[in-house]
Amino acid sequence: MRHTIVAFLSGLLFAIGLGISGMTNPSKVIGFLDFAGSWDPSLAFVMGGALLVNVIAFRLIMRRRSPLFAPSFSLPTRNDIDAPLVGGAALFGIGWGLGGFCPGPGLASAATLHVMPLVFVGAMTVGMLVYGLVMDRRAAASSPPGAVS
């Protein structure tokens, strides 16, 4: 139960920060990405501030033996760049540029019950489900006959 409360409070703090910084406003995000037009650099300060906090917090947290609510840290072990990573990053960037939302701000904006964030979250959910189905089929097709997947 304590884990759930901490996760909820962390998400709530993140959503509030996204709202205060303007990351939930698609026109502000699109203005940031519009280098040829009336470019709005203010989100660069939001991202720079987040990066600074992350770098400092990560160094402090990694000095601990383990996280507060887990027996050990779960850090990524892969460091290669492959086609799914590049394709996913490109798809993310295109979607962010066209819609003005990325997943976190999209979810935070959906709480307003406005149509655009709800459409975005719905499309994102469908995309995740389709991706899961495609990857499951790929894994099943590549496994040897009789193998349990």
Per-10-residue mean pLDDT, the chain, length 149 = 87 87 84 85 88 94 90 90 91 83 87 91 92 90 70
Number of domains in the chain: 1
Q: Is residue 147 part of a domain?
A: no
> What is the span of the domain harbouring residue 134?
2-142
- Output the DSSP codes for the chain: -HHHHHHHHHHHHHHHHHHHHTTT-HHHHHHHH-SSSS--THHHHHHHHHHHHHHHHHHHHTTSSS-TTSSS----------HHHHHHHHHHHHHHHHHS--HHHHHHHHTTT-HHHHHHHHHHHHHHHHHHHHHHHHHHHHSPTT---
Q: Is residue 148 part of a domain?
A: no
Q: Is residue 149 part of a domain?
A: no
pLDDT of amino acid 146: 64
Q: What pTM value is reported for the model?
A: 0.68
